[in-house]
Structure 1
Amino acid sequence: MVERTHRALAQVWIDFESALLKVPMIERLVGQRLRMEDYQRLLFNLRQQVIEGSRWISRASSSLSPANEELRSLFVRHSAAEHRDFRLLEQDYVAAGGKIEDIQSGQKNIGSEALSAFMYHAASNPDPLGLLGAMFIIEGLGNRMAGPWAASIRQQLDLPEEAVRFLSYHGENDSEHLDMFEDAVRLAVTGPDRDGNAVSADIVRHAKIVARLYRLQLEELGNV
Structure 2
Amino acid sequence: MNAEAGRPDAPLAKTHRQLAQVWIDFESALMTVPLVSRLHAGKWRIEDYRALLRNLRQQVIEGSRWIARASSSLTPTHEDLRSMFLSHAQEEHRDFRMLEDCYVAVGGAREEIQNAPKNVGSEALSAFMYHAASKPDPVGLLGAMFIIEGLGNRIAGPWSELIQKQLDLPDEAVSFFKYHAVNDSHHLDEFDEAMEMAVTSEEVGADIVRHAKIVARLYRLQLEEIDNV
- Structure 1 length-normalised TM: 0.96
Gaps of 5+ in 2: 1-10
Task: Establish whether residue 84 from structure 1 lines up as the match of residue 94 from structure 2.
Answer: yes
Structure 2 counterpart of 1:29, from 32, 39, 46: 39
Match in the other structure for 1:17: 27
Q: Is the 8 A contact 1:189 1:197 kept in 2?
A: yes
Cα deviation, residue 151, structure 1: 1.0
Q: In percent, how many aligned pairs have the same letter?
A: 69
Task: Establish whether residue 123 from structure 1 lines up as the match of residue 128 from structure 2.
Answer: no
Match in the other structure for 1:203: 208
Cα deviation, residue 51, structure 1: 0.3
Cα deviation, residue 101, structure 1: 0.7
Cα deviation, residue 3, structure 1: 1.1
How far apart, in 2, do the equivalents of 1:29 and 1:97 lie?
19
How far apart, in 2, do the equivalents of 1:90 and 1:108 lie?
15
Match in the other structure for 1:166: 176
Q: Is the 8 A contact 2:119 2:227 kept in 1?
A: no
Match in the other structure for 2:166: 156
Task: Establish whether residue 103 from structure 1 lines up as the match of residue 108 from structure 2.
Answer: no
1:24-59 deviation line (CA, Å, top 9, x unaligned)? 010011111111111000000000110000000000
Cα deviation, residue 222, structure 1: 6.5
How far apart, in 2, do the equivalents of 1:149 and 1:127 lie?
35
Please identify runs of 4+ aligned residues in structure 1 that moved more than 2 A.
none
Structure 2 counterpart of 1:216, from 210, 221, 226: 221
- SS at 2:86 equivalent: helix
Cα deviation, residue 64, structure 1: 0.1
Match in the other structure for 1:193: none
Match in the other structure for 2:7: none
> May I ask how many residue pairs the two structures share in their alignment?
218
- SS at 1:130 equivalent: helix
How far apart, in 2, do the equivalents of 1:28 and 1:136 lie?
26
Q: Is the 8 A contact 1:24 1:222 kept in 2?
A: no
- 1:2-81 maps to which residues of 2 (within 5 A)? 2-81=12-91
- Structure 2 length-normalised TM: 0.94
1:162-221 deviation line (CA, Å, top 9, x unaligned)? 10010000001101100100111111113xxxxx11110000000000000000000012
How far apart, in 1, do the equivalents of 2:150 and 2:129 lie?
17
Q: Is the 8 A contact 1:45 1:109 kept in 2?
A: yes
Structure 2 counterpart of 1:94, from 104, 117, 127: 104
Code of the aligned partner of 2:12:
V
How far apart, in 1, do the equivalents of 2:40 and 2:193 lie?
33
Code of the aligned partner of 2:222:
Q
Code of the aligned partner of 1:209:
I
Q: Is the 8 A contact 1:94 1:100 kept in 2?
A: yes
How far apart, in 2, do the equivalents of 1:4 and 1:222 lie?
38
Code of the aligned partner of 1:120:
Y
Cα deviation, residue 2, structure 1: 1.1
Code of the aligned partner of 1:210:
V
